[in-house]
Amino acid sequence: MSRTLPDLTADPARDHKRAVLDAGAVRDAYRRWAGVYDAVFGGVSSFGRKRAVAAVNRLPGTRVLEVGVGTGLALPRYRRDKRVVGVDLSREMLEKARERVAAEGLTHVEGLVEMDAERMAFADGSFDVAVAMFTASVVPNARALFAEMSRVVRPGGQLLFVNHFAAQDGPRWWVERTMAPLSRVLGWHPDFALSDLLDGEAEVESLEACPPAGLFTLVQVRNARAVQALAA
Ligand SMILES: C[S@@+](CC[C@H](N)C(=O)[O-])C[C@H]1O[C@@H](n2cnc3c(N)ncnc32)[C@H](O)[C@@H]1O
């Protein structure tokens, strides 16, 4: 199911209380979640994760960056000709991912690196594709994440995101706004909107609602800004 693009020119600043999620709060939250993450979130998020990796597998190019790789739930799903590097802020989540790679013999995973996705050590254009699954609403600054993913992906490459984006009205909007001050405890922003991630210049190629009940959206963006920057 495709979706229409919401207004990306909206000011991401909120008129309600949103707790700041800094890198320390993210590390603390995912230190707590690491042991139970797969059991608590693995099921509900599996549809979106499957769709995102299937989309990555269809794209040209082999160099894939997964930001916020977490416990590595997506890693077994990549085609074996992809060369996958995962980064995450949380040592404990990465440890689970490393155990998975070893247990399942995932030789297409080239590296799992403790690194801040808002400031990555990779050279410009190092990857064909970058994908962030359920991570954009967790990072302290989603626009900085997008800019950094754009930098490390080659011009014309693809950026993919699967995430829950806040409702724009109705009961779900009310619940999400009410939960917003709990961000530091939860480890994500319940009121995260697409305009928190993308500005009006992003070249959105598709928006696809994912089960259950369209709760998550797969967003695919062409890395056009880097093309413009190189041409300038
Ligand atoms: C909700 S989990 C998603 C994990 C995985 N992508 C999945 O599909 O299950 C979010 C992950 O993003 C990581 N994260 C948050 N901010 C980050 C940052 N700035 N740089 C790297 N990883 C980050 C967290 O540590 C956590 O492992």
H/E element, 144: helix 142-152
Residue 5 lies in a domain: no
Å from CA of 232 to ligand 1 middle? 33
Q: Token pair 């210049």 is at which residue?
A: 201
Which residues lie closer than 8 Å to 130 by C-beta, 6 or more apart?
Answer: 64, 65, 66, 67, 149, 152, 153, 157, 158, 159, 160
Nearest protein Cα to ligand 1, atom 1: 134
Residue 18 lies in a domain: no
> Mind giving me the DSSP string for 20-45?
---HHHHHHHHHHHTTTHHHHHTTTT
Q: Which domain holds residue 125?
A: 23-231
Residue 76 lies in a domain: yes
Confidence bin at 104 (pLDDT 50/70/90): very high
74 CA: nearest ligand 1 atom: 8
pTM of this prediction?
0.88
Task: Select from 41, 89, 133 the residue to mutate for testing ligand 1; criterion: most ligand atoms less than 8 Å from CB.
Answer: 89
Residue 15 lies in a domain: no
Weakest-pLDDT range from 92-106, 119-133, 204-218: 204-218
Residue 226 lies in a domain: yes
Å from CA of 150 to ligand 1 middle? 18
Residue 108 lies in a domain: yes
What mean pLDDT is predicted for residues 177-192?
64
Residue 7 lies in a domain: no
209, pLDDT greater than 80: yes
Q: Token pair 């909206």 is at which residue?
A: 10
37 CA: nearest ligand 1 atom: 9
Å from CA of 55 to ligand 1 middle? 20
Task: Select from 56, 88, 164 the residue to mutate for testing ligand 1; criterion: most ligand atoms less than 8 Å from CB.
Answer: 88
Confidence bin at 185 (pLDDT 50/70/90): low
Residue 17 lies in a domain: no
The tokens for 78 are: 């990549």
Domain count, the chain: 1
Q: What is the pLDDT at residue 191? A: 79
Q: What is the pLDDT at residue 3? A: 64
Question: Residue 158 is part of a domain; what is its CATH number?
Answer: 3.40.50.150
6, pLDDT greater than 90: no
pLDDT digits (tens, 9 = 90+) for 29-46: 999 999 999 999 999 999
Question: In the predicted model, what is the mean pLDDT of the chain?
Answer: 87
139 CA: nearest ligand 1 atom: 16
